[in-house]
Amino acid sequence: MATSDTPGALEKWLITASVMLATIMEIIDTTIVTVAVPHIQGSLSAGLEEVSWVLTSYLVANGIVIPLTGWLTSLFGRKGLLIFSVSLFTVSSFLCGSAPTLGLLVLFRILQGIGGGPLIATSHAVLMETFPPAQQGMAMAVYGVGLMFAPIFGPVLGGWITDNYTWRWAFYINIPVGLLAIIMIWAFISDPPYLRRQGRSIGNIDYIGLILLCLGLACFQIMLDKGELEDWFASGFIVRMAMISFVALVAVVFWELRSKNPIIHLRLFKDRTYALGSILISIHFLALLGSVVLLPVYLQNLMGYTPTKAGLVMGPGGIASLVAMLFVGRLVNLIDTRILIAFGACVTSYGLYTMSNFNLQIDFNYAMWTRLIHGFGLGFIFVPVSTTSLGRINKEEMGHATSLYNMLRNLGGSIGVAVVTTYLSRWSQFHQSMLVSHINPMNLEAQGRGILLHNILGFSGPDSFTASQQSLGMIYGEVLRQSKMLAFNDNFLLLALLYLAFFPLLLLMKGGKGGRRPAH
């Protein structure tokens, strides 16, 4: 058990393993459940819109709790909050797996989201305080391995579990992991002295700030999750969600800046490098989750890959990210972190640009190497951005800083998924209308293709009319595939261009080795 405020070398890595276990459990569960949704829908006889609340309820609860992590830490202590969060997540995972109805499953997913919300930000703060500045880069690299591992391999694990067992095991699998995490947190993690000195009083809760923040984030997350399904601002429901979210979040800013006991410490954004780093990480996760969503869908829907084969394309990129992160963990003490971030942005952007040139004839090796380049670039971003942004934050403010930082990371990922799914649908329609406009009797090439297909089908038995209908159906099917391919390419290009936004922000940041900014 940790008894010293300055843990030894072995104890530091045991602390790292403890918080990584909790973090991986929380992130990987989200991706596993995404794969299991169709099985849940059939098992509980739910419609698509109803079952989508299994995902939405978790994201809303999770998004609300993340920015409250610093405040919760000051009330309950970091160790107490971690044990409570992992315990709640584990118990609610059992309840989710045992849920007999959809309504109860959604209720238990809300509890699971509340439990999972503080885990990433608290784990982040623990690592930043456990390791001295010279070792924070490597600590963030090892921690980043867990963050990258979960979304890459979670869908593969989720598919295997639901195919070989039932969707309920997508939740039950958390129980042994959660119990082990609780034991390790209890044994190896202790609160720093300044947290032990703080009072554990709930008498000064900023109720107004809490209500406004919960309302604003909940409506914003619902808007993102339901926007495409409801046709965005053509829907009165989405308009209402957007208006409530905007008013509540603007009110939060004004209220919290004047509050003596704020729920979230917005004054941290006075530190320019922390503010810019928070923006960078949100852009990064916007593009990261957008690309992780797009590529497997492209491979399975347009290229006809099985989930396993698509996973084999994604896997090497994930391994490249892990290797790059461990490499960068040492480089942050030797090279200005801004240079590492710029290099990672360039490589990642290039990988996404090559994806924007995909066609329906690419082979497995080309797709895999493109993803490998993309993944290698990603590994150069998370660690230096984290160490640069949080490297000079006071320990007393670290919990509040990591909660704000991870809130923006989470929102960036949610926005990324909403953006790519919306643009994929809209640009598919645009390209479809453009391609269809060229298929007419005046286009000799289209006319020749139609005649060729008609003759080929005619030889197989159908009469002339049936052959004509089948040939038109085949042409239209190819138009749909090509229009979707072009829409995917446009999305990949958009994500590649997003990384170019890094460069003006990096020029404004203060860098340094190990994330430590030079003295003013």
Q: What is the DSSP letter of 519?
A: P
SS (H, E, C) 107-121: HHHHHHHHHHHHHHH
Q: Is 84 domain-assigned?
A: yes
Residue in 135, 124, 419 with CA at minimum distance from that of residue 278: 124
> Could you tell me if 81 and 181 lie in one domain?
yes
Q: Is 267 domain-assigned?
A: no
> Could you tell me if 2 and 129 lie in one domain?
yes
Q: Supply the pLDDT for residue 86.
A: 92
Residue in 291, 300, 230 with CA at minimum distance from that of residue 413: 291
Q: Is 350 domain-assigned?
A: no
> Could you tell me if 189 and 239 lie in one domain?
no
Q: Supply the pLDDT for residue 349.
A: 93
**Nearest-angstrom CA–CA distance, 314 and 317:** 6
3-state helix, strand, coil in the chain (%, to 5): 80, 0, 20
Q: Is 312 domain-assigned?
A: no
> Could you tell me if 63 and 211 lie in one domain?
no
Q: Supply the pLDDT for residue 343.
A: 93
> Could you tell me if 84 and 163 lie in one domain?
yes
Cα separations in angstroms, 448 against 325, 472, 474 = 53, 12, 14
Spatial contact of 77 and 195, defined as CB atoms under 8 Å apart: yes
Tokens representing 251 are 């009110």
Q: Is 470 domain-assigned?
A: yes
**Nearest-angstrom CA–CA distance, 133 and 15:** 17
Tokens representing 122 are 């608290």
> Could you tell me if 151 and 224 lie in one domain?
no
Spatial contact of 495 and 298, defined as CB atoms under 8 Å apart: no
Q: What CATH code is carried by the domain that includes residue 122? A: 1.20.1250.20
> Could you tell me if 104 and 221 lie in one domain?
no
> Could you tell me if 145 and 66 lie in one domain?
yes
Q: Supply the pLDDT for residue 57.
A: 75
Which residues span the domain enclosing 433?
429-486
> Could you tell me if 172 and 234 lie in one domain?
no
Q: Is 513 domain-assigned?
A: no
**Residue segments in the chain with a per-residue pLDDT below the cut of 50:** 1-4, 200, 454, 457, 465, 515, 517-520
- Given 260, 275, 294, the domain boundary residue is 260
> Could you tell me if 58 and 15 lie in one domain?
yes
What SS3 state is found at 334?
coil
Q: Supply the pLDDT for residue 417.
A: 76
Spatial contact of 73 and 81, defined as CB atoms under 8 Å apart: yes
Q: Supply the pLDDT for residue 52.
A: 65
Q: Name the H helices within 332-443.
A: 337-355, 364-378, 382-390, 398-436
Residue with tokens 């034991």: 183
Q: Is 52 domain-assigned?
A: yes
**Nearest-angstrom CA–CA distance, 476 and 432:** 9
> Could you tell me if 197 and 77 lie in one domain?
yes
> Could you tell me if 56 and 194 lie in one domain?
yes
Spatial contact of 154 and 31, defined as CB atoms under 8 Å apart: yes
Q: Supply the pLDDT for residue 464.
A: 55
Total number of domains constituting the chain = 3
Q: Supply the pLDDT for residue 451.
A: 53
Q: Supply the pLDDT for residue 461.
A: 58
Q: Is 440 domain-assigned?
A: yes
